[in-house]
Structure 1
Amino acid sequence: ILPQHVAPNELTKANGLVESGTFVAILLGTIFGTYYITQNVGPEIISIAVLVLAVLGYVSSRFIPISAANEPNLAFTYNIYTSTKNVFSALNSQTESVGKSVLGISWFWLIGAIVLTTLPNYVKHVMGGNELVVTSALVVFSLSIAIGSLLCEKLSRSRIELGIVPFGAILITLFLYLLSTEPAILSYGVQIDELLTLKQVLNTGDMRWHFVWMAGIGIASGFYTVPLYALIQQRTEEACRSRVIAANNVLNALFMVCSAILSIVTLSILEWSISELLLLLAGLNLLISLYIYTKVPEFFLRFIIYILAICMYRVKTRGEINIPEEGAAVIVANHVSFVDWMFILAASPRPIRFMVFAPIYYSPALHWLFKMAKAIPIDSEKANPEAFKKAFDDVAEALERGELVGIFPEGKLTGDGCVDMFRRGIERIIERTPVAVVPVHLGGLWGSMFSRKTKWQLPRLKWSLVSVSVGEPVAANKAKADNLRERVLDLKLLYSKDND
């Protein structure tokens, strides 16, 4: 119900709050539950406490705003098999990005369940810690997930940024590996007759690194899951969103059952150590991540764009609200560098299919990247009329499917940093498929390592400021080449005034 109560640009923040609240609640339940059971207060008191929590949960639910049914005529059935089949049918009808996001979230719950259930034994047998150390480890892990979930909104710049998902997956693999290779307390030459206190553990060798790796897994988990939840909510059809979420929850539960089976097989039957199980998880996480990013290249593409736009440049975006949240539109922009399309994609909440000059599209070094981005190759009409015609056919098909298409009407990179004349191909596109045109101006890229001003060189140590200014959509009947060029130039003047 979050998409019904928050704005699209608040989905990541809302999911971050839900995720952080969830794991703080799990933490509190684990701590207080363990405490009261170890105090031998008796089943009566514990039962009363559970019932009180249930009542508080019900009372809290009464404060949730009313959410209208997206599919009020949907038939309800008490048949568990039929209901489960229906929710998975709804999931199968969605795009592959939604399906693989559900798979990714379920895989996270498998990892989380194993880490949480093995943590007490890990602390006892590897770190040599007592119950307080176990509680401290739970606090570190759970609060780190909460922190990572809240940080995700900042790193995403209040939008759904899929580029953070591979980043989180890489970090989870890394920290699981580091946690699995941390030596046990006996490796430090310490002989113990009884379990160590928290202070003793922290003062023994480099044992504090165990906590650092746990915190790393937690923070990375927040980076990994929050965008996936937000993506499911955003890209799922409203009429079956609840059923898709239900399918996600069912699959989460199945993966958690699998986590228990995996733990039993490895720890009890095969008699592996906990460290070996964590190492196996690190390897499996890497394989699962590669599978998801191979099936849905958008995740990896956004990761590349995120690294480029955030780590190599300081990007300032304005007017991105003008990019339609749904429906077809054409994005037109000035052409300054070879990576212009990446910066426009970084500013867009939706995928954009760019038209790319065929020789560059098919170049051995870049073909895989443009294919991943579902770019549309276009060649000269004189050199290859068939490829030229096919490019316009592909653009028309994409627009008819409600996609965003990006073009650079200048037809070439600028040689002097100025905006050249716009060619009439844009008019041909709009005449065939009348849709709105969104003008975009790119600033700050002239003189970069990707422009024609200088030869290839290493990026400057100081972050370069790049601006992506998005103007208001232009109606199809006013989308003339000269008019669109003037709109782009107006955005350039606006950017200059802001800098002054």
Structure 2
Amino acid sequence: MSRSLLLRREFAPFFWTQALGAFNDNVFKNVLLLLLTFVAVPRFGWDTGLLNNLAAGLFILPFLLFSAWGGTLADRLDKQVLVRRLKLLELATMTLAAAAVWFEQFLLLLALLFLMGTQSALFGPVKYAILPQHLPRTQLVKGNAWVNLGTFVSILLGTLLAGVLASLGGELARGAIAAALIGVAVMGYLASLAVPAAPSSDPGRVSWQPLAGSIAVLRDSWRHRRIFRGLLGISLFWFLGACYLTQLPAWVRDMVHGQETAVSWLLGAFALGVGGGALLCARLSGGRLELGLVPLGALLIALGGFDFAARPALAGSGTGLPALLLMPGFWRMSLDLALVGVGGGLYIVPLYTLVQVASSDGHRARMIAANNLLNALFMILAALFGILLLTVLELPLSAFFAALAGMALVICLGVVALNPRAVLRLAVFTLMHLFYRLRFRGRSRVPAEGPALVVCNHVSFMDALIIGGACPRPLRFLMDRPIYESPGLSWFFRLAGAIPVDSERRDPGGVRRAMAEVSRALRAGEVVMVFPEGRLTTDGEIHRFRRGVDMILARDAVPVVPAALAGLWGSWTSYCHGRAFSTRPRRFRARVALVFGEPVAPEAADRGTLEERVRALKREADAFLSD
């Protein structure tokens, strides 16, 4: 698992298959628009606006008609076989497109744009549904990040290559375009031959019912509220992205006063920002589904968008890219769009991963199909939104982009309100990384789903924060009620999902109520963490485990994951130098190790066995710390 994903057969062939497909899509679409604008319109007197809108509609329409069918195909068939058949369809389409370009058959090219949109609509559900079959959950975020990076870089490069090829002129341009379309399609098909098998977990008959099928997948996604929220979040991103990309040429014309090359530059800044944000998301997530990054991404989109909208117009008219690159204002615009892109990468990758892991194997592709349907609808809404603000209300472009930034800020606040614990968890874990040099081992040993109990030695007041941030899944933890009710901190502990417990002497029935809350959490499929010693160590050693673990397991027989911390003894939050917090911090950025052990079956998980496991893991953590 240590090898790069791009060197592994489970991922690399599919990565190149989808990246080459996205590249060819954009070469074809942009070549078509350029040929229609600069060849067909002058020759036949056609209306440019009508043709551009017709082309956009012909590409989006298949997503409304065929996405549901594509999701059903991907759920019912071996995805490897489906990928190869769709790449053959792409090859056939591009062969016809090459002939149409050579003979300048523009109406045929428009029809082929619809066929290419159909191939993309059918390929979309496979694109994200196949990854969970080939990658472990700990690699899924990274896989999605690379897929998004490949997609946006391919969009950028395809757009740039289309401009270069079209600028060659005459037969040379037509020949080069035809060769590129067929050559890239051939490479994509050859890459698909190395994609590993991905058999269906729910094989069966597939029928095509465009309207009924689309309504059915949307209704199915609506029933899974957590998934539907993820789909809605993804579609909002595509709404914002479509608004940005659609109005970028007008911004360059009216505010930058530049040429077409300036559009490509700003598009490149945005696309590379999205790719960089996706990889940053994988880095920050550490193999986990980190939904706390979603509002952070939306916030960056808002900040970049507000600054972009506030940029004044640049001086000049028809200014070339070399001259623009000497203007600080143009660099500020580029950085703003790059920041919007980074925010988009941080925002979109966790949402795609959420849809993948929350969907069952037999329905995952249909959830992706529902996503494609919603994306298409939201992109149509983006066009209507632009018409409303810019044509009907006649607002300036700066107000349009400010409105988009305001929408991103509303999305950020909405996500925080819906899932504050995920945001809090990410913030706490980030702070812990600032205070300590953290090293982890065995985080994948925490079960990916279902209830589990984590037990660990108790060294300092920072233990729960470090373990909570490091755990691949959100967890709840037991803590002393006096600390839980601390003035100024009780809101934090409530938000974090802490479970207060008090001694029977101070609160008769307190332990019983705490055990009942632990039981409710476990029966809801959550992870609960306890310190079986019942108190902080006063000498740095592990003390006898109390009967609380046995009481929990007697009510709920769940797997138990032992863990051990090393490196916190001696910190100012431990009892090493007397009372905790009574001295000034002695060490900053101290090295801390956390090791998770193999899960213990509930029937074998008595407190004596667990104490032995934690002691052994503590020795492992000490050795890990000294490596």
Q: Give the TM-score normalised by structure 2.
A: 0.72
Match of 2:231 in 1: 102
Match of 2:203 in 1: 72
Counterpart check, 1:485 vs 2:615: no
Using the TM superposition, give the Cα deviation of residue 35 of structure 1 relative to its aligned residue in structure 2, in angstroms.
4.6
Partner of 1:377, secondary structure, is strand
Counterpart check, 1:467 vs 2:593: yes
Match of 1:189 in 2: none
Matched AA of 1:90: D
Match of 2:433 in 1: 310
- Asked which structure has the greater CA Rg, the reply is 2
The 1:9/1:492 distance shift into structure 2, 3 A limit, reads same
The C-alpha deviation readout for 1:135-160, integer Å capped at 9, x for no partner, is 11112211221222223322323443
Give the Cα separation in 2 of the matches to 1:457 and 1:185: 57
Counterpart check, 1:285 vs 2:408: yes
Partner of 2:528, secondary structure, is strand
Query: Retained in 1: the 8 A contact 2:449–2:525?
Result: yes
The 1:357/1:84 distance shift into structure 2, 3 A limit, reads farther
The 1:184/1:451 distance shift into structure 2, 3 A limit, reads farther
Match of 2:75 in 1: none
Counterpart check, 1:328 vs 2:451: yes
Matched AA of 1:141: F
Matched AA of 1:282: A
Give the Cα separation in 2 of the matches to 1:170 and 1:311: 21
Matched AA of 1:466: V
Matched AA of 1:384: D
Instruction: Give the aligned CA root-mean-square deviation in angstroms.
Output: 2.9
Using the TM superposition, give the Cα deviation of residue 23 of structure 1 relative to its aligned residue in structure 2, in angstroms.
0.7
Query: Retained in 1: the 8 A contact 2:295–2:415?
Result: no
The C-alpha deviation readout for 1:61-81, integer Å capped at 9, x for no partner, is 4543332223224x6443333
Counterpart check, 1:156 vs 2:156: no
Partner of 2:561, secondary structure, is strand
Structure 2 residue aligned with 1:16, among 145, 148, 153? Answer: 145
Match of 2:391 in 1: 268
Partner of 2:196, secondary structure, is coil
Query: Retained in 1: the 8 A contact 2:595–2:617?
Result: yes
Using the TM superposition, give the Cα deviation of residue 454 of structure 1 relative to its aligned residue in structure 2, in angstroms.
4.4
Matched AA of 1:475: A
Using the TM superposition, give the Cα deviation of residue 439 of structure 1 relative to its aligned residue in structure 2, in angstroms.
1.2
More helix by share: 2
Give the Cα separation in 2 of the matches to 1:450 and 1:281: 45
Give the Cα separation in 1 of the matches to 2:208 and 2:318: 51
Q: Please, which runs of 5 or more residues in structure 2 have no aligned partner?
A: 1-129
Alignment of 1:16-165 (within 5 A): 16-36=145-165, 52=182, 60-73=191-204, 76-94=206-224, 96=226, 98-165=227-294
Give the Cα separation in 2 of the matches to 1:473 and 1:466: 22
Using the TM superposition, give the Cα deviation of residue 15 of structure 1 relative to its aligned residue in structure 2, in angstroms.
0.7
Using the TM superposition, give the Cα deviation of residue 60 of structure 1 relative to its aligned residue in structure 2, in angstroms.
5.0
Match of 1:496 in 2: 622
The C-alpha deviation readout for 1:218-261, integer Å capped at 9, x for no partner, is 12221221122122212222222112111112112222122111
Moved more, 232-241 or 409-418: 409-418
Using the TM superposition, give the Cα deviation of residue 39 of structure 1 relative to its aligned residue in structure 2, in angstroms.
6.3
Query: Retained in 2: the 8 A contact 1:149–1:222?
Result: yes
Query: Retained in 1: the 8 A contact 2:567–2:625?
Result: no
Counterpart check, 1:429 vs 2:552: yes
Partner of 1:65, secondary structure, is coil
Partner of 2:362, secondary structure, is helix
Query: Retained in 1: the 8 A contact 2:428–2:469?
Result: yes
Moved more, 354-363 or 122-131: 354-363
Match of 2:93 in 1: none
Matched AA of 2:146: L
Give the Cα separation in 2 of the matches to 1:238 and 1:377: 38
Structure 2 residue aligned with 1:353, among 470, 476, 492? Answer: 476
Match of 2:22 in 1: none
Using the TM superposition, give the Cα deviation of residue 364 of structure 1 relative to its aligned residue in structure 2, in angstroms.
5.1
Matched AA of 2:195: I
The C-alpha deviation readout for 1:170-201, integer Å capped at 9, x for no partner, is 22211111111222214xxxxx2x31122211
Aligned length: 492
Partner of 1:166, secondary structure, is helix
Moved more, 403-412 or 60-69: 60-69
Give the Cα separation in 2 of the matches to 1:83 and 1:50: 36
The C-alpha deviation readout for 1:253-279, integer Å capped at 9, x for no partner, is 222122111111112222222222221
Give the Cα separation in 1 of the matches to 2:260 and 2:134: 42
Query: Retained in 1: the 8 A contact 2:565–2:592?
Result: yes
Q: Please, which runs of 5 or more residues in structure 1 have no aligned partner?
A: 187-191
Query: Retained in 2: the 8 A contact 1:140–1:211?
Result: yes
Query: Retained in 1: the 8 A contact 2:443–2:470?
Result: yes
The C-alpha deviation readout for 1:33-66, integer Å capped at 9, x for no partner, is 3455566659987995797366765665454333
The C-alpha deviation readout for 1:305-356, integer Å capped at 9, x for no partner, is 3322333332110121221222322101122333422221222222222223
The 1:272/1:449 distance shift into structure 2, 3 A limit, reads farther
Using the TM superposition, give the Cα deviation of residue 459 of structure 1 relative to its aligned residue in structure 2, in angstroms.
7.1
Using the TM superposition, give the Cα deviation of residue 119 of structure 1 relative to its aligned residue in structure 2, in angstroms.
1.6
Match of 2:110 in 1: none
Matched AA of 1:486: E
Give the Cα separation in 2 of the matches to 1:493 and 1:59: 51
Partner of 1:442, secondary structure, is strand
The 1:178/1:386 distance shift into structure 2, 3 A limit, reads same
Give the Cα separation in 2 of the matches to 1:460 and 1:247: 55
Matched AA of 1:478: A
Structure 1 residue aligned with 2:313, among 152, 165, 184? Answer: 184
Alignment of 1:186-205 (within 5 A): 186=315, 192=316, 194-205=317-328
Give the Cα separation in 1 of the matches to 2:587 and 2:301: 29
Partner of 1:445, secondary structure, is coil
Query: Retained in 2: the 8 A contact 1:70–1:238?
Result: yes
Matched AA of 2:515: F
Matched AA of 1:66: A
